Amino acid sequence: MTSSRVEGAHVVVGLSGGVDSAVAAYLLKEQGYRVSGLFMVNWTEDEAGYCSSAEDFQSARAVAAELDIPLHRVDFSAEYRRRVFDLFLAGYAAGKTPNPDLLCNREVKFQPFREHALRLGADWVATGHYARIDHGAAGPRLLRAVDDNKDQTYFLAAVARAHFERVLFPLGGLSKPEVRAIARDAGLPNHGRKDSTGICFIGEREFRDFLGQYLQPQPGAIEDDSGTVLGQHQGLSFHTLGQRKGLSIGGQRGAREAPWYVVAKDPARNVLIVAQDAEHPRLMTTQITTEPFHWVRRPETLPERLTARIRHRQALQPCAVAALDGTRVSFRFEQAQRAAVPGQYLVLYDGDECLGSGEIVVG
């Protein structure tokens, strides 16, 4: 960050109540920015205390008080319900496994949230994401974090490039232990707070029970890959490719003492197909098709060799563009990929740069 960027600049930081956003605000204030906090409410249906929004807000207030910065609060629960949760449910109803974290960043955090921050007079908007942005003359480039174990570009890869304008990621050059140490040394009140797990509207609960509140059961047969019926499922929507737990088929006569895995879905027959092979041929593929593919930045000439990941924290996998037809892009991988799940995202990289993402439609 240049000194000209800091001098007199107002940064609105998305304060979530967690340690990452707290340290982002602290670092920006230390660098000379005029900092304000903005707490976002996404979910208000807090049955049985699963959503920690109220606790998160109190944590954000304590951080803002410690840093002596103003804290604003904005309710985006209606937008979140319409632009994220409804799409999330529709995806599951269609037999996909959608990723609400990518949808939240695309539809809320870098749209209405960013716009609200700019209306508050922000010159810059910042969050506690582990990622980097290069604000060059040709426009922003999204780069992987220095700490590959914490890199969050996977969740940012569906955001429009224009929405990265005037955005800062102060934690992109740090590791999580370094962030914890900074929070502790700075005396931030939430320095020992545990990282949040999952998404707010699910929290620490049984995922199938949660989905069952919104999706009706559609029982069908569970078959092995030879067509033998092993049991019954309550709906294809409640299962995903590669899944091992929650099949409730137990030991089967004549079968090996080995786990069962979901290897395919047959929507036409409403059948879930399982096998005792974690790398069953139906789970493995060297070509993955995505649609629509969203380019954060599309190079004029695509390199012959790129890398991609089809899930968060997966090691980057060498690949190449196999076919490009409008918004439909297929990729060929050097090594077979396991469980390319429709509804999840393939995220594409050229070195450190995140080029974009596409929803997996064919594995």
From the list 51, 104, 319, 354, the catalytic residue is 104
Burial (Cβ within 10 Å: 0-12, 13-18, ≥19) of residue 320? middle
Query: 250 and 347: one domain?
Result: no
| Residue 235: count of CB within 10 angstroms of its CB | 20
Do 114 and 236 reside in the same domain of the chain?
A: no
The enclosing H or E element of 125 equals strand 124-126
DSSP 200: T
Examine residue 305 and state whether it is found in any structural domain, yes or no. Answer: yes
**Residue 203: inside a domain, yes or no?**
no
Q: List pLDDT tens digits, range 253-283.
A: 656 778 899 999 999 999 999 999 999 999 9
Examine residue 157 and state whether it is found in any structural domain, yes or no: yes
Query: Are the CB atoms for 56 and 228 separated by under 8 Å?
Result: no
| 72 and 35 in a common domain | yes
Contact (CB, 8 A) for 126 and 14 = yes
Question: What pLDDT was estimated at residue 158?
Answer: 97
- Per-residue confidence band for 3, with pLDDT thresholds at 50, 70 and 90: very low
In a shared domain, residues 296 and 319: yes
Residue 171 and residue 101 in one domain: yes
- Annotation says 354 is catalytic: no
Q: Is the pTM of this model over 0.85?
A: yes
Task: Please report the beta strands in 188-270, taking only residues with DSSP state E, as ranges in sequence order.
Answer: 220-224, 229-233, 261-266
Prior bond of 292 cis (ω within 30°): yes
What pLDDT, in 10s, does the model give residues 47-88?
545 556 788 999 999 999 999 999 999 999 999 999 999 999
CATH number of the domain enclosing 179:
3.40.50.620
CATH for 340: 2.40.30.10
pLDDT mean across residues, the chain? 91
Same domain assignment for residues 81 and 143: yes
- For residues 28 and 95, membership in a common domain is answered with yes
Same domain, 298 and 250: no
The CATH number for 246's domain is 2.30.30.280
Domain that holds residue 240: 219-275
Q: Examine residue 201 and state whether it is found in any structural domain, yes or no.
A: no
Active site residue 104: yes
How many whole angstroms separate alpha carbon 128 and alpha carbon 180?
13
DSSP per residue, 255-275: S-SS--EEEEEETTTTEEEEE
What one-letter code names the amino acid at 21? S
Residues 28 and 153 in one domain: yes
| Pair 51, 85 in one domain | yes
Identify the active-site residue in 51, 200, 319, 354: 200
Same domain, 270 and 356: no
- 122 and 85 in a common domain: yes
Does the residue 198 lie in any domain? no
Rounded CA-CA distance 72/15 in Å is 9
The total of structural domains in the chain comes to 3
Would you say residue 4 lies in a domain? Answer: no
